[in-house]
Amino acid sequence: MKILHVVPGLGDPANGIAAMATRLADEQRALGKEVSVSASGTAAECRMSDVVFVHSMWTPPVLRACHAALRAGTPLVRVPHGCLNAAALRHSAWKKALVSPLERHYMRRAACVLVTTENEKAAVERWVRGEPRIEVVGMGVDDLLTPDLPPKRMGEGPKTFLFVGRLHPLKGLDFLLAALPADASLRVIAPDGGQQAHYERLAQQLGVADRVTFLGVKTGAEKLREMREADALVLPTHSENFGFAVAEALVVGTPAITTKGAPWEGLEAHGCGWWTDVEASSLRAALADCAARSREELAEMGARGRDWMLADLTWRNCVERIQKAICGIINP
């Protein structure tokens, strides 16, 4: 089986969609599949493939790849990555309206649409206004806790929170800065993208600039070390299809705080974090609760999160569900 993944923004270390698609391709190769990953998806690439996964929506590379796959007669699998969730649709709505007719056409003609959660499935059904085949396949995470990562910090002292993501209005860094508890510090892993100065000014206006550190892009072992050393990861998002940073933090034993804009209700069910409403006061209460707890208790929460990730959210389980779906397409 020859599989092609088309991923706009391939090579950008801050692009979560590209990271997920690349990891998915790796796991498919481990199952013996012939897998290619492309930033564009040319007509020739589509013709030479048995199935074409097109990740994300709205951009010219996505639209061209969908057209090329359908013209080649190759089964098209759409992976919208939360692009049809309500908050995501509101962002740059007028631009999306321009290409919505074409996107609906390609979505309806897709052999399959892969989504992460039941909520995302419902969002796709509402927007497409048709009957695409939709499969809920979830997401995966690796065991990232290696011997070279430090032990969890114990003892007293002000807490350190960590934000990992893009400097984008949907990510909610503005109300994280406003909700930061007294004495707690915040470390931010994010590419500048022209927005860092705005958030630095906001931190100054809020009187927290001396407790906020912008680290730029961190990947691999450097990022995992920051996650391991933090007292909690915070993802104050308005809309998130999955929130891969939450899974990464949990698997290295760090509890997480995120909003109901992300599908992480299991944080509370498994006793490994907080799942708040999408607004500053709820986030402030969760941060204060976390800051008031001992590091020993936070480490216990992180350990429960790690156990949950390794039991339920492995890449192998995710990829097996995906392979089952696409085998049904190629060999109905």
pLDDT tens-digit readout, 166-213: 888 889 999 999 999 999 999 999 988 889 999 999 999 999 999 999
pTM tops 0.85, yes or no: no
Beta strands 112-115 and 76-79 are: parallel
135 Cα distance to chain centroid = 18
Q: Per-residue confidence at 146, pLDDT binned at 50, 70, 90?
A: confident
Largest CA distance in the chain: 63
What Cα–Cα distance (Å) separates residue 111 from each residue in 56, 76, 133, 252? 16, 5, 7, 37
Confidence check: pLDDT of 252 > 80 = yes
Place of tokens 């400097």: 167
Question: How far is residue 131's CA from residue 277's CA, in Å, rounded to a whole number?
Answer: 32
Q: Per-residue confidence at 227, pLDDT binned at 50, 70, 90?
A: very high
Question: How far is residue 105's CA from residue 289's CA, in Å, rounded to a whole number?
Answer: 47
Question: How far is residue 188's CA from residue 6's CA, in Å, rounded to a whole number?
Answer: 29
* pLDDT tens for each residue of 15-73: 778 888 888 999 999 988 999 999 888 999 999 999 999 999 999 999 999 999 999 99
Instruction: Give me the percent of the chain exceeding a pLDDT of 70.
Output: 98
CATH superfamily of 160-312: Glycogen Phosphorylase B; (3.40.50.2000)
Instruction: Name the residue among 52, 51, 55 with its Cα closest to residue 139.
Output: 55
* Domain ranges (residues) in the chain: 2-140+314-330, 160-312
160-312 and 2-140+314-330 share a CATH fold: yes
User: What was the pLDDT predicted at 9?
Assistant: 80
Which CATH architecture best describes the domain 2-140+314-330?
A: 3-Layer(aba) Sandwich (3.40)
